[in-house]
Amino acid sequence: YRALLDTLELSDSRLTLQLQGNITRVKINELKPLKPRFEVFLSVLSRDDNGLVLSLGVESQRLIVSARPFRLDIMEGPEVLLSLNSRGLLAFEHLRLRGGKDKEEDGLWEETFKSHTDSKPNGPTAVSLDFSLPGVEHVYGIPEHADNLKLKTTDGGEPYRLYNLDVFQYELYNPMALYGAVPVMLAHNTQRTMGIFWLNAAETWVDISSNTTVFGKMLDFVQGSSETPQTDVRWISESGIIDVFIMLGPKPSDVFTQYASLTGTQSFPPLTGLAYHQCRWNYNDQDDVKAVDEGFDQHDIPCDFIWLDIEHTDGKRYFTWDPHKFPQPKDMLQGIKDKRRKMVAIVDPHIKVDSGYKIHNEIRDKNFYVKNKDGGDYEGWCWPGNSGYPDFTNPEMRAWWASMFAYDQYEGSMENLYTWNDMNEPSVFNGPEVTMHKDAMHGHWEHRDVHNLYGLYQHRATAEGQIQRSGGTERPFVLTRAFFAGSQRYGAVWTGDNAAEWDHLKISVPMCLSLGLVGISLCGADVGGFFKSPSAELLVRWYQTGAYQPFFRAHAHLDTPRREPWLFGPENTALIREAIRQRYALLPYWYQQFYQAHKTGQPVMRALWVEYPKDTATFTIDDEFLIGRDLLVHTVTEEGARGVTAYLPGLGEVWYDVHTFQKHNGAQNLYIPVTMSSIPVFQRGGSIIPRKVRVRRSSECMENDPYTLFVALSPQRVAEGELYIDDGHTFNFQTKKEFIHRGLSFVNNVLTSKYVTHIF
């Protein structure tokens, strides 16, 4: 490719650069394509049409565009921060018509996977671009993968794959695709954090190679050279266009803010959503739900939510209730409400093809189903049997779906019933790789173009439905399995169908940390593991870890023995009770962290390097993490563990064991003996953390209880913190400014409190 610098055109393509808030955007599209190529719409982004600006807004930063061969270098002073197409891997397969000059090669016009064949109406349409990151050895992000926090080189192996799939018993430490895809990578060294946002919803592969190379310090062109570590990254997507945002930081917090300006911040969940959730596939009937609810009270264990999986419906027809097992859903919900608890019911996207089913008939009559390549309604096999798939890319379909959550439409629902969107990759049991055929049609777009957006759009429509049913006053709570960039705006995500194994407990930490790095803070893993049955020790350790992860839900497969917290003997019941009670005591701190995440885009569950970006010892740690700035958690993920070695960051800082109040210096590895009673948790010296030490059966029952401030002094004997309070469930904090936000300070042995104003 040759860049025509005066018009910003490539020989067959066009290049556009857009600048906003220390973000550089590179968009490459065909100049005159046979038909429009799909572009992911950024609903949050405020766009302007700036042309090519060689100064990046910061005096020392510049963009160098080389015409032949085409290359972009982003500079700061004499240093190259990032280069595009430095390895010449830019590729853009142009749309074509069959019967032209192209030979009838295998895979050119159709692709076969096992017994499934997808047509390619315009031939291969892939796009690719490479990025070089001088001085960078550590890259993170691009979830979802069951892998370490630091991404590995893919030299000699498979690249990381981003393609939302319903994966049965996924493999660990593997670049295979899982349930969600966020095409965002963070690059970090002691000097800077940067981000790459590859805005493409098609199947995407990411190749990573690391090496030490001679990469010159540039001033216009190379002037001298030095040996520098470097990471090279190549992105390849099956279709769409090249649309890339380069987030230049330079601090981790800056990158989070820059990314949030493009895709939005984490939704602010109702307080109850941060409490404990009890789920399994399935609670059998109304009596079973009542017994589980009473079991928590009998064993003095807090719980806010009881969940219902697919068996609660009438023959897997969503928005319905089994008339024999759940004949009086409102009575059941009222009984739960009387305990000041809530429920969640599953609503999957596949719709049973049944002429007696109102939901199916309306979607069919409104022509809202995804179509097959021949123009008929696309049908596939899922839990109900033969199913249709609503086209959630259609705004009219989303609006209709949202309207189905109204109380007069969703019969048996009440204000304390929330929603779980599962199987929305979408899962098609008889489809290629258990998903939809790529040549299915969403209006004018092939499914291959929009695949990774399907779950986000269902999640969005469901959340909007919950908001609308309350007249716009109540915050929604919706859990999704499939996700994309921007899913954080609509609710919670979990890591999918894990297993009751120690390694799955261990991997839950880097999986959630990776999600937090790309904006999705409300994440968690199935406590206890979905498949198989945990030992009592594993279950206790999982509760102790899950209590310090943002979304805290126990879940289990239909074929596993029951595992409510009181079924493993009195000793283990007491240990699980204590773990859950620790979560409830810290709910004020959790809630405050999510308020800040909603306002700023900063992650709640944080990798250590986010807060200690110059400490190289933190760059590969993924068995401990921070909640906000002030709580440090080290997991216990080995069977029979008698101790762990934790790294306490921060030279000149101190950390206090929250269980014993023992003080330890920062910037050291510390061996900590452990028993089954708890896992190591530390409060940072210099912080003030609010708690509610009077734990009751649900978070709502604790609403009017007093706050206790835990003041941990720094070596200078000072501390600071915050206390945020609102009604816990409405948008009044936003629409009416009804909240209390206090800044707390402890200096000279005096504790003071003042209003926080314009903090964000």
What digits encode the pLDDT tens for the residues 80-138? 999 999 999 999 999 998 876 666 777 889 988 888 989 999 999 999 999 999 999 99
| Contact call for residues 91 and 59 (beta carbons, < 8 A) | no
| Region of residue 4 (left: phi > 0; alpha: psi -120 to 50; beta: else) | beta
Partner residues linked to 61 by β-bridges: 76
Q: What is the per-residue pLDDT across 24-75, written as a single tens digit (0 to 9) for each?
A: 778 878 777 888 888 887 554 333 333 333 556 666 788 888 877 888 999 9
Q: Using DSSP, state whether 405 is helix, strand or coil.
A: coil
- The alpha helices in 66-107, defined as continuous H runs, are none
| Region of residue 159 (left: phi > 0; alpha: psi -120 to 50; beta: else) | beta
Which one-letter amino acid corresponds to residue 65?
V
Residue 623 has pLDDT above 60, yes or no: yes
How far is C-alpha 748 from the chain's CA centre? 42
Q: What is the per-residue pLDDT across 207-234, written as a single tens digit (0 to 9) for each?
A: 999 976 544 444 334 444 557 899 999 9
Both tokens of 702, joined, read 């604790």
**Active site annotation includes 623:** no
Distance CA 593, CA 522 (A): 11
Right CATH for 13-256 from 3.90.1820.10, 2.60.40.1760, 1.10.357.10, 1.10.3720.10: 2.60.40.1760
136 closest CA partner among 613, 708, 759: 613
Q: So what's the pLDDT on residue 586?
A: 99
Residue 575 has pLDDT above 50, yes or no: yes
Distance CA 704, CA 187 (A): 44
Residue 631 has pLDDT above 90, yes or no: yes
DSSP state of 317: B
Distance CA 16, CA 39 (A): 14
Distance CA 604, CA 606 (A): 6
The count of other CB atoms within 10 Å of the CB of residue 447 is: 26
Right CATH for 347-479 from 2.70.98.60, 3.20.20.80, 3.30.360.10, 3.30.70.60: 3.20.20.80
| Contact call for residues 74 and 80 (beta carbons, < 8 A) | yes
Partner residues linked to 433 by β-bridges: none
Q: Could you give the angle at the alpha carbon of 492 between the alpha carbons of 490 and 493, nearest 5°?
A: 120
Q: Do domains 13-256 and 347-479 have the same CATH topology?
A: no
Q: What is the per-residue pLDDT across 445-482, written as a single tens digit (0 to 9) for each?
A: 999 999 999 999 999 999 999 999 999 999 999 999 99
Distance CA 363, CA 346 (A): 19
Residue 4: C-alpha distances to residues 17, 92, 735 (Å): 14, 17, 49
Q: Are strands 478-480 and 417-421 parallel, antiparallel or unpaired?
A: parallel
Residue tagged active-site, from 309, 422, 526, 630: 422
Q: What is the per-residue pLDDT across 172-215, written as a single tens digit (0 to 9) for each?
A: 999 999 999 999 999 999 999 999 999 999 999 999 999 765 44
DSSP state of 707: P
Residue 15 has pLDDT above 50, yes or no: no
Distance CA 466, CA 454 (A): 19
Both tokens of 466, joined, read 């919950």
Of residues 19 and 550, the one with the higher pLDDT is 550
Q: Which 3-state string (H, E, C) describes 554-579?
A: ECCCCCCCCCCCCCCCHHHHHHHHHH
DSSP assignments along 681-730, one per residue? EEEETTEEEEE--S--SSTGGGTTSPPEEEEE--TTS-EEEEEEE--SSB
Residue 361 has pLDDT above 90, yes or no: yes
Distance CA 347, CA 362 (A): 16
Partner residues linked to 672 by β-bridges: 644
Distance CA 104, CA 107 (A): 9
| Contact call for residues 524 and 553 (beta carbons, < 8 A) | yes
Q: What is the per-residue pLDDT across 400-454, written as a single tens digit (0 to 9) for each?
A: 999 999 999 999 999 999 999 999 999 999 999 999 999 999 999 999 999 999 9
The region of weakest confidence among 8-17, 52-61, 539-548, 591-600 is 8-17
Q: How confident is the model at residue 21 (pLDDT cuts 50, 70, 90)?
A: low
Q: What are the backbone angles phi and psi of residue 434, rounded to the nearest 5°?
A: 60, 35
Q: Which residues contact 335 (CB under 8 A, 6 or more apart)?
A: 290, 293
Residue 497 has pLDDT above 80, yes or no: yes
Q: So what's the pLDDT on residue 236?
A: 99
| Contact call for residues 65 and 72 (beta carbons, < 8 A) | yes
Distance CA 29, CA 449 (A): 14
Distance CA 429, CA 264 (A): 33
| Contact call for residues 667 and 649 (beta carbons, < 8 A) | yes
263 closest CA partner among 239, 243, 280: 243
| Contact call for residues 635 and 498 (beta carbons, < 8 A) | no
Residue owning tokens 């090279």: 232
Average pLDDT of span 331-344: 99
**Active site annotation includes 118:** no
Q: How confident is the model at residue 10 (pLDDT cuts 50, 70, 90)?
A: very low
Average pLDDT of the chain, as a whole number: 93
Q: Which residues contact 561 (CB under 8 A, 6 or more apart)?
A: 533
Partner residues linked to 28 by β-bridges: 15, 242
| Number of H-type helices and E-type strands within the chain | 13, 45
Both tokens of 583, joined, read 């979560």
Residue tagged active-site, from 497, 622, 623, 630: 497
- The alpha helices in 379-535, defined as continuous H runs, are 395-403, 447-450, 454-469, 502-517
Which one-letter amino acid corresponds to residue 579?
A
Residue ranges covered by each domain of the chain: 13-256, 347-479
